[in-house]
Amino acid sequence: MLSFLALMTFVVSLQSAPSAAEVLHGLDLTSFRNSTGPSREVGLRRPVDWAFSGLSIAGGQASLERPEDGWIVSLEILRTTSDGVIACFNDQARNGGSYSAQTALHIVRDDVGGYRVVDETVRDPDCPPRRGQG
């Protein structure tokens, strides 16, 4: 009986896992280090607040681009956890610049209907860190 209960809990957790697009759209960019840090102002939280739009999805990775300067942020869910997901977040200049950062993040739901990072020190072989090399 315990095996059946464990299996059902696993199935329910899979069904309730958010998509990469859902997490990226609702991600609180102030909850971890990224390229929006220098332009943070009161009230700016989600990618849309920094004019990221134009969702594209390829191979499980959701991406948003800022049309005026070509900056792109993307996210791929690597695995689920008991309270959220481990995701690979990419932050890249596509405006002639060479900034490119990648980090694995532990992301959970926040108290306002979105998502926030609770651990940015996650290590995952599918998401080797790049710290904003330029």
pLDDT at residue 6, rounded to an integer: 47
For the chain, domain boundaries? 19-133
pLDDT at residue 7, rounded to an integer: 47
Give the whole-angstrom CA distance, residue 115 versus residue 98.
Answer: 28
- Could you state, in chain order, the average pLDDT of each consecutive group of 10 residues for the chain (134 residues)? 50 69 96 81 88 94 92 96 97 80 96 95 94 66
- Ramachandran angles phi, psi of 64, nearest 5°: -130, 140
pLDDT at residue 2, rounded to an integer: 52
Burial of 12 (0-12, 13-18, 19+ CB in 10 A): exposed
pLDDT at residue 98, rounded to an integer: 73
- Ramachandran angles phi, psi of 100, nearest 5°: -155, 115
pTM over 0.85: no
pLDDT at residue 132, rounded to an integer: 73
